[in-house]
Structure 1
Amino acid sequence: MGRFLLGLSLLLIIFLHNSCRKNFGVAISHGDFKVEKDTLFLDSVFTNIASHTYRLKIYNKANKDISINRIYLEKGSQSFYRLNVDGDPGKSFENVLIHANDSIFVFLEVTADINQLTDPVYEDKLVIEDAIKTDSVLLTAFVKDAQFFYPQKYPDGSKQTLVIYTNPDTGETSEVYGFFLTGDTTLTDDKPIVIYGHMAVPSGHTLTIEQGAHLYFHYNSGLIVWEDATLKVNGSLGHEVVFEDDRMEPEFDNKPGMWNYIWLRENSKNNDINYAIIKNAEVGIVAYPSQDANPVLKIKNTQIYNHSLVGIYGVATHIEGENLVMNNFGMSAINLQVGGQYDFKHCTFANFRNGIRNEKSAAVYIST
């Protein structure tokens, strides 16, 4: 039995030796790598705000491992671009191993200060080199100056919030991440306007948005008009006021649910929207009732589309609408609850959404 086990062990050792790869060494690269693309567009980014992460691959097409001498940014440590090569962050990497017939990921981001640029089109090169071959990828981003609105962050790490509901029985509150504007405010088309959290118009004051202004809302952000406050949107033909999300990559151009809503709270008053484009939110406009005899909202010449839930959601409110075009909603273009007073003229309400449809997916849904 002992001789049998000894013989079996020797056979196993011989089998494993013959089955193993004979060459564990790394061959010096001779131009066997291939880069996925020669240009990477990081699209538009706002000044001093990190872009989203982009990626590309470097392939080893050879049947043996290679070591790339160096991967780096041409502008070096002064570059506004950042790299992560196969899991390691930095701006320059040496002796990067790529296994035979394998690849590595290179992840890229950019955070640029437009005040340090002579041209808003900011470029650098990702360089991949060895002793035989050098390749490069042109990196391009368009940097936009912008005006930013965001809640305060306190020394203890907490953030500014807005109380949107107080339970009358328990006193418990519901809050959202947000802030009040300071008094009457006018937004113009001077710079793009980027909003983080919920920007609120305080009671007794008016937010006026002039023609051509472009508002970008970060994820889980919105605009709230408080009791006794007013929103005035003064767009014009060809110079519409745009409300949309802050993802500027082409694949997000018509993606719904990327921000929250424009919310006209109970007893807001005399809200006017003329020549606006409202897109890619969860709900375009939420309108609550008011004790004022005038309409809560007058809205004209406006496009509302690509919202994950509803275009206009009215609760026992008063809305006058004229020349509206509305399409593509997860539920309905118009959803009217608990009665109210509505007058829509020369409007197109459509809903060509994909997926399962029911009565709440109709273009117009009314529940009294």
Structure 2
Amino acid sequence: MKRKKGFLYIMGVGMAMSALLASCADDESFSTSRGDVLSFSVDTLKMDTTFSNVPTPTRSFWVYNRTGKALRCQSVRLENGNQKGYRVNVDGSYLGTEAGFQTQNVEIRKGDSIRVFVELTSAMQNSEEPQLVSDNLVFALESGVEQKVNLRAFSWDAMKLNSLEVKQDQLLESTLPVVVYGGIRVDEAATLTIAPGTQLYFHENAGLQVFGSLKIEGEKDREVVMRGDRLDHMFDYLPYDRTPGQWQGIRLMSSAHDCRISFADIHSAYDAVMIEAGDATKQKLLIENATIHNSQGYGVRIDSAKVQIYNSQITNCLKHPLYVEGGDVEVNGCTIAQFYPFDGRRESAIGFASPLPRFEVRNSLVTG
């Protein structure tokens, strides 16, 4: 009985304290003074450049109540409804179609804050240049004051490829960026030719596998660009485009033959160009006037194949920018440099394994 009474007594105190706290919260008054307003961590939420019809990463900002009283928003709404493609979550409430792209009665107690999450999937802009996509998130207070946070991004129309399999000779040419999901596979009997000025943006796990032949036919001032598809920043000072390992790179399989990479900019891959063993007496790959830069693995790795590399730059990889294991390899007029900044365990500029039937490096700068 004593234990039971003690238990009831403690329960009674706890309930009383809960009731007291609830009473204090309920008694807190909400200001309707036009002088009491919200503060925001940003005035403009910038989403970086994005491809049309491709969802952006989620961005967020904070809303603070730094006044001496609680504030209530009669509504928080997108000024243009959903005409621009923005998606917003305000303190757990999604501004969707059923709610008319708004939420109501959002309370922010004095000294408290809420977080707002924003994403964008913009429509096609019918332009070859990135176009501004802007909207305002409107916070309407009970006092009648309306405060706005501008949502801002540039949308870039793009051509999308999903798991492309090249079964016959094909020309890939586009004045718009080409966003690649799932990768590109070139079958043994086919040749893929990539036209001058074409820009390919590969998604995280996408790459280019060649069982047949590949012709990258860039020209001076109209290089073929191959890179990752992230257009935003890892940090304010570091775009994802400058970080390695953004896509899977190019792999020439054992059956690949008579490939050429000319006037190309290939960067920020995992392994940029991997060349599997084949018939080392037959031409496998010619690289000329190309830049291969910033790989998380190898720049160019050659396994018992016949390869020529002329007037090109191969730089900054965690592993060797150029690695040769057997075959017939000629390098002439190139820069091969190792200043990979992301890991102190980086390997030397050139690596090789014997036996090497023929490996010549002439008229070239090698450092690191």
For this structure pair, what is the TM-score category when the shorter chain's length is used for normalisation?
0.7 to 0.9
1:2-41 → structure 2 map (5 Å cutoff): 16=17, 20=21, 23-25=24-26, 26-29=28-31, 30=33, 31-41=36-46
Contact 1:289 1:296 in 2 (8 A): no
Q: Quick one: which amino acid aligns to residue 34 of structure 1?
A: S
Whole-angstrom distance in 2 between the partners of 1:147 and 1:18: 60
Superimposed CA distance per residue, residues 48-67 of structure 1 (whole angstroms, 9 cap, x where no aligned partner)? 22122111111121344322
2:223 alignment counterpart: 240
- Answer yes or no: is 1:191 the counterpart of 2:176: yes
2:336 alignment counterpart: 349
1:28 deviation in Å?
2.5
2:139 alignment counterpart: 128
1:294 deviation in Å?
3.8
1:355 deviation in Å?
6.3
1:105 alignment counterpart: 115
Contact 1:267 1:292 in 2 (8 A): no
- What 5-or-longer segments of structure 1 have no aligned partner? 152-178
- Answer yes or no: is 1:88 the counterpart of 2:93: yes
Contact 2:84 2:123 in 1 (8 A): no
Q: Quick one: which amino acid aligns to residue 207 of structure 2?
A: G
1:271 deviation in Å?
0.8
1:237 deviation in Å?
2.1
Structure 2 CA distance for partners of 1:27 and 1:320, relative to 1, 3 Å: farther
Structure 2 CA distance for partners of 1:308 and 1:18, relative to 1, 3 Å: same
Q: Tell me the TM-score normalised to structure 1 length.
A: 0.82
Whole-angstrom distance in 2 between the partners of 1:356 and 1:81: 38
Superimposed CA distance per residue, residues 304-342 of structure 1 (whole angstroms, 9 cap, x where no aligned partner)? 1121111111111222111222222222211223x1221
Whole-angstrom distance in 2 between the partners of 1:182 and 1:331: 33
Contact 1:289 1:318 in 2 (8 A): no
1:162 alignment counterpart: none
Whole-angstrom distance in 1 between the partners of 2:344 and 2:205: 26
Contact 2:188 2:255 in 1 (8 A): no
Deviates more, 1:276-285 or 1:18-27: 18-27
Superimposed CA distance per residue, residues 83-103 of structure 1 (whole angstroms, 9 cap, x where no aligned partner)? 111222222111112233232
Deviates more, 1:272-281 or 1:349-358: 349-358
Contact 1:269 1:292 in 2 (8 A): no
1:191-210 → structure 2 map (5 Å cutoff): 191-210=176-195
- Answer yes or no: is 1:149 the counterpart of 2:161: yes
Q: Secondary structure at the match of 1:196?
A: strand
1:160-179 → structure 2 map (5 Å cutoff): 179=164
Q: Secondary structure at the match of 1:197?
A: strand
1:225 deviation in Å?
0.7
Structure 2 CA distance for partners of 1:340 and 1:84, relative to 1, 3 Å: same
1:133 deviation in Å?
2.6
Whole-angstrom distance in 2 between the partners of 1:53 and 1:14: 41
Q: Secondary structure at the match of 1:361?
A: coil
1:312 alignment counterpart: 300
2:249 alignment counterpart: 261
Whole-angstrom distance in 1 between the partners of 2:258 and 2:308: 11
Deviates more, 1:325-334 or 1:18-27: 18-27
Structure 2 CA distance for partners of 1:94 and 1:15, relative to 1, 3 Å: closer
Superimposed CA distance per residue, residues 282-310 of structure 1 (whole angstroms, 9 cap, x where no aligned partner)? 11101113327443111111111121111
- What 5-or-longer segments of structure 2 have no aligned partner? 96-100, 234-238, 355-368
Q: Quick one: which amino acid aligns to residue 344 of structure 1?
A: V
Structure 2 CA distance for partners of 1:92 and 1:16, relative to 1, 3 Å: closer
Structure 2 CA distance for partners of 1:142 and 1:12, relative to 1, 3 Å: closer
1:214 paired residue among 175, 178, 199: 199
Q: Quick one: which amino acid aligns to residue 27 of structure 1?
A: S
Contact 2:55 2:119 in 1 (8 A): yes
Whole-angstrom distance in 1 between the partners of 2:11 and 2:52: 68
Superimposed CA distance per residue, residues 248-307 of structure 1 (whole angstroms, 9 cap, x where no aligned partner)? 114312111111110111121111111111111111101113327443111111111121
Contact 1:260 1:281 in 2 (8 A): yes
Whole-angstrom distance in 2 between the partners of 1:355 and 1:147: 32
Superimposed CA distance per residue, residues 128-184 of structure 1 (whole angstroms, 9 cap, x where no aligned partner)? 121243221222222222221113xxxxxxxxxxxxxxxxxxxxxxxxxxx412411
Q: Secondary structure at the match of 1:114?
A: coil
Superimposed CA distance per residue, residues 113-139 of structure 1 (whole angstroms, 9 cap, x where no aligned partner)? 216899932221111121243221222
Q: Quick one: which amino acid aligns to residue 153 of structure 2?
A: A
Deviates more, 1:13-22 or 1:134-143: 13-22
Q: Tell me the TM-score normalised to structure 2 length.
A: 0.82
Residue identity (%): 28
